[in-house]
A = this chain, B = another copy of it.
Amino acid sequence: MAKRKIRMGMVGGGRGAFIGAVHRMAAQLDGQIELVCGAFSADPAKSRASGEDLFLPADRVYDSYAEMFRREQAIPADERMQCVSIVTPNHMHYPVARMALEHGFHVICDKPLAFNLTEARALEVLVRKTGLIFALTHNYTGYPMVKEAREIVRSGQLGKIRKIVAEYPQGWLASLLEATGQKQADWRTDPKRAGASCCIGDIGSHAENLAEYITGLQIESVCAELTTFVKGRKLEDDGNVLLRFKGGARGILSASQISINEENALAIRIYGEKGGLEWHQEEPNTLLLKWPDRPRQILRTGGGYGYLSAPASQATRLPPGHPEGYLEAFANLYRSFAAAVALAQTGKKVPARALDFPTVADGVRGMAFIETVVKSSKSKQKWTRMPAR
């Protein structure tokens, strides 16, 4: 029988959405996934118009996610969608993901995992129970040089890690953009849809995920100050956090949405006893290695030199000097997700190492971080501990 593409549905991501379009491009890039259906908006007319834009047949465009899960389940297995991409605002991650899992669909979900830690833990339980594949799009871990960085730390070349400096400055919320009705600003600054945090939830959690992903270390306690600089805003737009990692490493995490003219400047510097590294998301194909007694090295994405690790090499599509960017990194998650879904569909057990993407466990950890930082910010005490699992 001929090989088939993975069949995917989507919830959210209707006309005008940013992250929905990103997910679709990421899913399409490698030609492994076919978008077969969707519930693109809570507004049925908008959902249908979006489906038409995407060349979907009218009968696979649904008025609601509930309808979609129900009706897709009734379609013959070899046509039915196999997985769903959830690209709604935060408060709608949990209900949609739960229903998807309960109906037997694999899930790839935008971050943060849920509206709060309680929801996040409930999802983790459900994923374990159903045995379905669950990917969370902490997309920055999809970059080849982030994978290379993790391999380098793992290899012990840097020695025991001492210091981690993670930062994520942006400037787009330096004024009260939500007052203009701008869609992205509107829900991200609304505690009813975004949750307890804006800046840390939206971007700080990416920095946390990146730091833990590369170093393999876990944050133990935090000392945070969150600030709302823009008058009239309901959630914080800036956060500075001191970090203590298990095992003794120390760190700083700084996230900001009011740092004018900073675009999406996620960056990380890590220093160990024997060496260090540095990576910038805006120049993602470069990784700097730092040594005490040798010249600094510039590692570069691309298969041409033969010095990169297998995980970094496999995450590239092009020769050196042909820049790969945000969408390619995002697509790496989708490609791995598709492979895991394909494997799961065969009925075999999917080994942990095939889950080369952030999982529900990362999502729980991220929600714990967000809640702990918010709690610390309100405390007069210096250190607030991350919750035990």
Interface residues of A (CB under 8 A from B): 2-5, 18, 21-22, 24-25, 28-31, 35, 52-55, 57-58, 162-163, 165, 167, 169-172, 174-175, 223, 225, 227, 229, 238, 240, 242, 244, 250-252, 254, 256, 258-265, 269, 271-276, 281-285, 289-300, 302, 304-307, 317-328, 379-383
Task: Verify B297–A175 contact, CB threshold 8 A.
Answer: no
For residue A320, which residues in chain B have a CB less than 8 angstroms away from its CB? 263-264
Greatest chain B CB density within 10 A among A169, A264, A293, A322 is at A322
Q: How close is A181's CB to chain B, nearest CB, in angstroms? A: 17
- Contact flag A305-B294 (CB < 8 Å), given A28-B29, A323-B326, A381-B382: yes
For residue A171, which residues in chain B have a CB less than 8 angstroms away from its CB? 271, 276, 290, 292
In the bound complex, how far is the Cα of B326 from the Cα of A285, in angstroms? Answer: 12
For residue A261, which residues in chain B have a CB less than 8 angstroms away from its CB? 275-276, 290-292, 296
Task: Verify A298–B298 contact, CB threshold 8 A.
Answer: yes
Q: How close is A372's CB to chain B, nearest CB, in angstroms? A: 15
For residue A293, which residues in chain B have a CB less than 8 angstroms away from its CB? 305-307
Task: Verify A318–B327 contact, CB threshold 8 A.
Answer: yes
Task: Verify B3–A55 contact, CB threshold 8 A.
Answer: yes
- What are the 3 closest A-B residue pairs judged by CB atoms, nearest first? A263-B321, A264-B321, A261-B290
In the bound complex, how far is the Cα of B223 from the Cα of A364, in angstroms? Answer: 29
> Which of B25, B53, B252, B325 makes the CB contact (< 8 A) with A323?
B325
- Contact flag A2-B319 (CB < 8 Å), given A25-B29, A293-B307: no
- Contact flag A174-B324 (CB < 8 Å), given A24-B31, A242-B240, A381-B380: no
